[in-house]
Amino acid sequence: MEKKNIKEVEEEKRRLLDSQEFCRNKKEKIGKTPAKLTHPEKREFMKPGKTNREDRINFVKFWANYVRTHSDKEWSRQQNVLIDSQIEHAHNLVRKTVDS
Phi first, then psi, for residue 46 (nearest 5°) are -90, 135
Report in angstroms how near the CB of residue 35 gets to another protein at its nearest. 10
Q: 7, 73, 96, 100: which one contacts another protein (CB under 8 A)?
A: 73
Phi first, then psi, for residue 82 (nearest 5°) are -70, -50
- Is residue 67 involved in binding another protein (CB under 8 A)? yes
- Is residue 71 involved in binding another protein (CB under 8 A)? yes
- Is residue 46 involved in binding another protein (CB under 8 A)? no
CA distance 40 to 69: 10
CA distance 96 to 7: 56
3-state secondary structure of 72: helix
Q: Which residues bind another protein (CB under 8 A)?
A: 29-32, 53, 56-57, 59-61, 63-65, 67-68, 71-73, 75-80, 82-84, 86-88, 90-91, 94, 98
